[in-house]
Amino acid sequence: MSLQNTLKAISNPVRRDILTLLKEGPQSAGSIADHFELSKATISSHLAQLKQADLIREDKYKNFIYYELNLSAFEEATLWLKGFTNEK
């Protein structure tokens, strides 16, 4: 994962909303799509970009794919952003 991919992924408001939804816990793509007035293909594209940035991971269970946050992927961005504050 690179910081550039992370920042690009979170630059889109829909992807940020998806990440916020996933803070509640794992969800299927259909459940995520129900929160938006977008096509399932568009949601799938957003999920793919979040996955490429390693911000989410998928877990297959029976016939469903559940998405969840990959919290460790946020660490690099957090450390970089903290460099602009006095926090250590």
pLDDT attached to residue 88: 58
pLDDT tens digits, one per residue of 18-49: 999 999 999 999 999 999 999 999 999 999 99
pLDDT attached to residue 37: 95
Fill in the amino acid letter for 73. Answer: A
Cα 31 from chain centroid?
15
Q: Which pTM value belongs to this model?
A: 0.88
Q: Furthest-apart CA pair in the chain: how many Å? A: 48
Q: Is 20 left (phi over 0), alpha (psi -120 to 50) or beta?
A: alpha
Helix (H/G/I), strand (E/B), else coil: 87: coil
Q: Is 69 buried (19+), middle (13-18) or exposed (0-12) by CB count in 10 A?
A: buried
pLDDT tens digits, one per residue of 42-87: 999 999 999 999 999 999 988 889 999 998 888 888 888 888 887 6
Domains of the chain listed by start with CATH number: 3-83 (1.10.10.10)
